[in-house]
Structures are given as structure tokens and as C-alpha cells.
């Protein structure tokens, strides 16, 4: 049967059979939504070649299904499943990031006027820098995550909730060797230490230098999936490293830390004002 005749017969069937018509409408809508979100996701991740491949495969598979009356539908579904699986495998980290950001949790709900001012920001910045420098001098390992209330609850629940004011003494005591929480990460949100001893997802980046261990992989891994910055102190060398958006900045000195922390706090202030 010719393609035109098959389409004509199918449309006649749709007019006469309401369940078939409803099934066809739901199928078209579901595929449209699926295609839209796949293309949108690829576009947001600068994967234009993948968009072209995806559209090409769908068109070819759809064309074949029109000419092959017996196995065309199955072939189309196999092609669609293969493309979706390929996207999932190639963009696993980006997909995880989207899922986690959709399920984020606002850790504090306070007004800007009640919590932020220049003096308090400077105090927090200085306390964090003092703790980092002291730990660096003494080769004490640490991970501090600067969040915006967007750390998933499963990470927070893996540690101990604190809701404490920021102080260098408290930070250093948490990471003091052999204390219960020293191996995990500390989560800071604004003016508060919200949790410590938290377990972070490890980066799967194979290009991380061999001399960087699990602590650095954890500090980098969370920045690959969530819009946060992490500051890592090496237990072996005392070197301070900053991770942001899946990239390292090593040998962070006082000025670098001040710049990063001030940027974090004033971005927090601006977002809280909105």
C-alpha cells in the first residue's frame, strides 16, 4: 500500500474510532513534549551537533516507519530509545544537575534587612579566611561549600545540622583531625553554618591531577551538579583550592579568597533583595 493511501486510511480510522483518535492525540502530545525538552536541554548545554543528529534520526526513523507497515513502529521506538539513551549517557552530569536543582531546598527564609550588612559580611569573610589559613598552615584537610540554599536535602541529611553563626574557632574545631565531622563537608548558607560532616558526590572527571585525592574530587563534584562554590584545604600540602562550575583554581591566597567570598556574599544579598 502506498504511503498516501496508508495515511488516508489511518485518518478515516481516526474519524470513525474515538479511542484510536484519543490514543493518537496523546501519543503526539507526549512525543512533542519529549522532543521539546530533549532539544531544549541540548541547546542549553551547547550541543547543537547533537540536536542535528537527534532530528535527523527521528526524521529517518519516521520515514522508514511510513514505508514499512509491519516493523516500522517498532523501529521508530528503538531509534527514539537509542537517541534518548545516548543523551543520558553523554550528559549524565548535566541531567543530574537539572534534577537536583529542581529538588533544591531553601535552608533559611529570612529578610535581607535582618541579616545582611557590610559589617556582618566583612566579619564572616574574615572568620572564614582566618580558619582556612590556620588549617592550611597546620595541614588540616577541609571542604567548605558556599551555597545559596540550593543543596539537596540528601546531602544535608548525610551530615549533622548545625544552624550556627560563622566563626573561625568553630570551623577549625569541626575539621580538627579525628573529630567525628572532620572528614565531611561543611555547608555554609549566608551567615550560618547549616551542616557539617556532609558527604558530597565525587567528580567523575578523569582529567583531575593524580595528586588530588577524594577530598578534591568531592569538592569538585558538587560544583558540577549544583551552582555552588567549594573551598578545599589539602591535608597533605596545605594548599587551598577553590572549585566552581566543575573547574579548579589552585593556590588561593588571601586576596583570591576575599574576592570569592565577597562575590558570594553580595550575590546572596542581591538575590535575597529580590
Q: What is the pLDDT of residues 217-257, one digit of tens each?
A: 999 999 988 889 999 999 999 999 999 988 899 999 999 99
End-to-end CA distance of the chain: 62
Answer yes or no: do 65 and 177 share one domain: no
Answer yes or no: do 85 and 172 share one domain: no
Q: Are 166 and 194 in contact (CB under 8 A)?
A: no
Answer yes or no: do 138 and 214 share one domain: yes
Tally Cβ neighbours within 10 Å of residue 95.
16
Pairing state between β 192-198 and 185-189: antiparallel
Please check whether residue 102 lies inside any domain of the structure.
no
Answer yes or no: do 76 and 134 share one domain: no
Answer yes or no: do 185 and 219 share one domain: yes
Measure the CA–CA gap between 108 and 190, rounded to whole angstroms: 9
Please check whether residue 104 lies inside any domain of the structure.
no
Average pLDDT, the chain: 79
How much is the pLDDT for 92?
67
Residue 24 grid cell? 493518537
Give 60's pLDDT tier (boundaries 50, 70, 90): confident
Residue 180 grid cell? 567525628
Global pTM reads: 0.63
Higher-pLDDT residue of 262 and 73 is 262
Q: Which domain holds residue 11?
A: 3-90
Please check whether residue 237 lies inside any domain of the structure.
yes
192 bridge partner residues: 165, 189
Domain count, the chain: 2
Element (H, E) at 172: helix 168-175
Answer yes or no: do 132 and 263 share one domain: yes
For the segment 132-154, the average pLDDT, to the nearest whole number, is 92
Which phi-psi region, left, alpha or beta, contains residue 87 (left: φ > 0; alpha: ψ -120 to 50)?
alpha
Percent pLDDT > 90 in the chain is 38
Q: Which of 77-91, 202-216, 232-246, 250-264 is least confident?
A: 77-91
Answer yes or no: do 120 and 200 share one domain: yes
Pick the last residue of a domain from 35, 59, 90: 90
Rounded to 10 deg, the angle between the 48-67 and 72-90 helix axes is 170
For the segment 112-129, the average pLDDT, to the nearest whole number, is 78
Answer yes or no: do 79 and 121 share one domain: no
Give 32's pLDDT tier (boundaries 50, 70, 90): confident
Residue 61 grid cell? 526513523
Amino acid at each position: 500500500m502506498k504511503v498516501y493511501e496508508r495515511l488516508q486510511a489511518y485518518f478515516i480510522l481516526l474519524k470513525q474510532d474515538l479511542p484510536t483518535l484519543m490514543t493518537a492525540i496523546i501519543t503526539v502530545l507526549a512525543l512533542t513534549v519529549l522532543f521539546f525538552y530533549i532539544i531544549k536541554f541540548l541547546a542549553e548545554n551547547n550541543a547543537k551537533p547533537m540536536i542535528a543528529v537527534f532530528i535527523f534520526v527521528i526524521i529517518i526513523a519516521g520515514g522508514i516507519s511510513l514505508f514499512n507497515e509491519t516493523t516500522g513502529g517498532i523501529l521508530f521506538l528503538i531509534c527514539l530509545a537509542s537517541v534518548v539513551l545516548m543523551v543520558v549517557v553523554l550528559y549524565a552530569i548535566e541531567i543530574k544537575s537539572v534534577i537536583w536543582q529542581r529538588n533544591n531546598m531553601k535552608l533559611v527564609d529570612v529578610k535581607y534587612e535582618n541579616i545582611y550588612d557590610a559589617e556582618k559580611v566583612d566579619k564572616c569573610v574574615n572568620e572564614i579566611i582566618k580558619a582556612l589559613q590556620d588549617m592550611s598552615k597546620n595541614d588540616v584537610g577541609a571542604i567548605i561549600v558556599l551555597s545559596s540554599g540550593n543543596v539537596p536535602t540528601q546531602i544535608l541529611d548525610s551530615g549533622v545540622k548545625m544552624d550556627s553563626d560563622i566563626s573561625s574557632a568553630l570551623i577549625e574545631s569541626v575539621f580538627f583531625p579525628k573529630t567525628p565531622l572532620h572528614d565531611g563537608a561543611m555547608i555554609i548558607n549566608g551567615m550560618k553554618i547549616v551542616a557539617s560532616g556532609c558527604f558530597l558526590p565525587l567528580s567523575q572527571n578523569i582529567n583531575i591531577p593524580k595528586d588530588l585525592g577524594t577530598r578534591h574530587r568531592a569538592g569538585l563534584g558538587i560544583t558540577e551538579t549544583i551552582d555552588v562554590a567549594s573551598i578545599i584545604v589539602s591535608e597533605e600540602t596545605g594548599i587551598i583550592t577553590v572549585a566552581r562550575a566543575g573547574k579548579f583554581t589552585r593556590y588561593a591566597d588571601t586576596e583570591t579568597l576575599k574576592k570569592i567570598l565577597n562575590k558570594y556574599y553580595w550575590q546572596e544579598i542581591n538575590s535575597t533583595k529580590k
